[in-house]
Amino acid sequence: YVSPELDKNSLSIIDSFAQNLNAISGFQTTSQPLEGTEALPKKNIVFEANKDIVPEGYELSIQPDAVIIQASDRSGIFYAIQTLKQLLPTAIYGDQPTSDAQWTLPCMEIKDAPRFGYRGLHIDVARHFFPKEEMKKILDLMALHKQNTLHWHLTDDQGWRIEIKKYPRLTEIGSIRNKTMIKYAEERCINIIPEVDLPGHMMAALAAYPDLGCTGGPYEVSGQWGVRDDVLCPGKEKTFTFIEDVLTEVMELFPSEYIHIGGDECPKVRWEKCPKCQARIKAERLKANDKHKAEFFLQSYVTARVEKFLNDHGRKIIGWDEILEGELAPNATVMSWRGMDGGIEAARLKHPVIMTPNNYVYLDYYPTMNTQDEPLAIGGYNPVEKVYSLEPVPASLNEEERKYIIGAQGNLWT
């Protein structure tokens, strides 16, 4: 039974749960409106709107006669259903009807709400291509863990995985484009943040469009992990035309308020020798300071210019913590990956921070010391206990600064 005060989106979530339950258990449940104030129907699941519950929160009461679920938004309804599924026989996660499961629930009261609004998983499809079915599985697992943001690392040295109509050669390297997959995420209360990593980690694009580099190439799509000296040339205007064209098409595909523009691991050696880059440094009056050479401020110039372009289109940027080097772009959110220091610095500068410290939540690290029995990983050691022990809010921040830590994320590089 569904209270009419719940919106249409909640209704479709409840309907899919009913279909899911019916398909596995053989029940024939349907969703029906809950009318008036008469006594709650017995032996049923009742979904009610409760404006006093915070966004994404829910209350679940399992009583001998009925299950009562309350929330103020569709995410809350969705997460209550996730909890209910966790309490049901595991067959509920499969796609096969079963007759030998016990469809009972233990009586209990749960009041649940997230501590952070941003609960992310990063997935790198540049190094390893994930087909659509695999991505859907990842979204299902995220939903099970009540994670609400997928950070999709779409481009890197080892491959460009998003079709850009204006630059068709990018797709010769490999592409994915699937609008229905975005909807699949939306139905699971997951926002997708696309990442185009710039100005470094661009070998795949340089191999397709060598003009975008300082030396003009030739370049090859990288066959190995690591950081490459060849990056985009910010001395050339055509580089910015390329970035803006790509981001325009990315914005058409992804409604996300945030776009991740990367910014990590961008060596400056080509820029130091490139006449066009040096001319840009001069024209923009970029100067070294006691911490950073002028070329670091050239990267800040790129980030700020891309931020302005995206802000003008109603979007916001997220960048890896290297965007703190030189000068931080005015409205940027910082993703702290080299430990938590970058996040601490950004919070003190009053910028939003997402904590993804490599020594806790890099999911491409080994989960065990017995690495010989494991699939190939990048190295490191992050066992499950360590991952779960992450406290995203550093004790060294004061109360005001702590508000800038908006969440945490596990990063699955491939």
Amino acid at 242: F
Q: Does 351 participate in catalysis according to the annotation? A: no
Is 17 among the residues that bind ligand ACM (CB under 6 A)? Answer: no
Q: Does 312 participate in catalysis according to the annotation? A: no
* Count of residues engaged in binding ligand ACM, rule: CB under 6 A: 4
Per-residue x/- mask for ligand ACM, residues 335 to 374, rule CB under 6 A? Answer: --x-------------------------------------
Task: Find the shortest distance in angstroms from Cβ 72 to ligand ACM.
Answer: 35
Point out the catalytic residue in the list 151, 201, 260, 351: 201
Q: Which does 277 bind (CB under 5 to 8 A by kind): Zn ion, ligand ACM, none?
A: Zn ion
3-state secondary structure at position 185? helix
Task: Find the shortest distance in angstroms from Cβ 338 to ligand ACM.
Answer: 8
DSSP secondary structure letter of residue 93: G
Q: Which does 264 bind (CB under 5 to 8 A by kind): ligand ACM, Zn ion, none?
A: ligand ACM
DSSP β-bridge partners for residue 336: 355
Binding segment for Zn ion (CB under 5 A), chosen from 166-174, 227-235, 328-336, 352-360, is: 227-235
Are the CB atoms for 190 and 141 separated by under 8 Å? no
**380 φψ region: left (φ > 0), alpha (ψ -120 to 50), beta (else):** left
Task: Find the shortest distance in angstroms from Cβ 370 to Zn ion.
Answer: 46
- Counted residue by residue, the chain has a size of 414
Residue from 182, 233, 250, 304 touching Zn ion (CB under 5 A): that is 233
**Residue 77 dihedral angles phi and psi, to the nearest 5°:** -60, -45
DSSP secondary structure letter of residue 39: P
Rounded CA-CA distance 191/409 in Å is: 13
DSSP β-bridge partners for residue 47: 2, 69
Q: Which two tokens stand for residue 108?
A: 């209990």
DSSP β-bridge partners for residue 114: none
DSSP β-bridge partners for residue 123: 152, 412
Query: Which lies closer to ligand ACM via its Cβ, residue 249 or residue 265?
Result: 265
Q: Does 265 participate in catalysis according to the annotation? A: yes
Q: Map the footprint of Zn ion across residues 268-287, applying CB under 5 A.
A: 274, 276-277
Is 302 among the residues that bind Zn ion (CB under 5 A)? Answer: no
Task: Find the shortest distance in angstroms from Cβ 264 to ligand ACM.
Answer: 4
Task: Find the shortest distance in angstroms from Cβ 77 to Zn ion.
Answer: 52
Query: Which lies closer to Zn ion via its Cβ, residue 207 or residue 277?
Result: 277
Point out the catalytic residue in the list 186, 265, 272, 345: 265
Point out the catalytic residue in the list 48, 56, 59, 156: 156
Q: Which two tokens stand for residue 356?
A: 């993804």
Query: Which lies closer to Zn ion via its Cβ, residue 185 or residue 302?
Result: 302
Query: Which lies closer to Zn ion via its Cβ, residue 326 or residue 394?
Result: 326
Q: In the chain, what is the straight-line distance between the N-terminal and C-terminal CA atoms, in Å?
A: 44
Each as own residue / partner, the long-range contacts of residues 8-11 (CB below 8 Å, 24 or more positions apart, any chain) are 9/74, 10/47, 10/71, 10/73, 10/74, 10/77
Q: Which does 265 bind (CB under 5 to 8 A by kind): Zn ion, ligand ACM, none?
A: ligand ACM
Query: Which lies closer to Zn ion via its Cβ, residue 221 or residue 277?
Result: 277
Residue nearest to ligand ACM (CB): 264
Q: Residue 266's closest CA among 291, 237, 303, 241?
A: 303
Helices (H), 268-398: 269-273, 275-283, 294-312, 341-348, 358-361, 384-388
Q: Would you tell me the crossing angle of helices 294-312 and 275-283 to the nearest 10 degrees?
A: 70
Task: Find the shortest distance in angstroms from Cβ 337 to ligand ACM.
Answer: 4
Is 235 among the residues that bind Zn ion (CB under 5 A)? Answer: yes
3-state secondary structure at position 33? strand
3-state secondary structure at position 276? helix
Is 214 among the residues that bind Zn ion (CB under 5 A)? Answer: yes
Per-residue x/- mask for ligand ACM, residues 313 to 332, rule CB under 6 A? Answer: -------x------------
Q: Map the footprint of ligand ACM across residues 241-280, applying CB under 6 A.
A: 264-265
Helices (H) and strands (E) in the chain, counts: 14, 16
Task: Find the shortest distance in angstroms from Cβ 407 to ligand ACM.
Answer: 17
* Count of residues engaged in binding Zn ion, rule: CB under 5 A: 6
Give Cα separations from 319 to 260, 324, 333 (angstroms): 6, 9, 6
Active centre residues (catalytic): 156, 201, 265
Q: Which residues bind ligand ACM (CB under 6 A)?
A: 264-265, 320, 337
